[in-house]
Amino acid sequence: MTQLLPLLLETLNVRINRVLLVAEAALPHSQFQPYRKIVLNEFGHSNGLARDIERIVADYEKGNGKESGRPIHAGKEVPHD
């Protein structure tokens, strides 16, 4: 994948950490732990936004012919003979 994916995921992680830091300071521990779980589920790598971003970048690169290294014409790969 391109250099774009690591930059996007790093930026996302910085934002997630900032939100969690503020929440940890503002919420009692008993409320912070469930909140943290929700944030990580929604924005993390398992099934959250980070995984969606990975999929979007992969689909974009595949659609632009970068995955196979072969040109794509009208949505179909053009064979090289």
pLDDT, one tens digit per residue, over 6-24 is 999 999 999 999 999 999 9
Calculate the alpha carbon distances from 64 to 55, 75, 81 in Å.
14, 9, 20
CB 6 within 8 A of CB 54: no
The first and second tokens of residue 77, run together, are 């790969």
Report the pLDDT averaged over residues 32-56: 92
pLDDT for 67? 53
Q: Model confidence at 1, in pLDDT bands (50, 70, 90)?
A: very low
Q: pTM for the whole thing?
A: 0.68
Calculate the alpha carbon distances from 34 to 12, 18, 53 in Å.
20, 17, 24
pLDDT for 61? 84
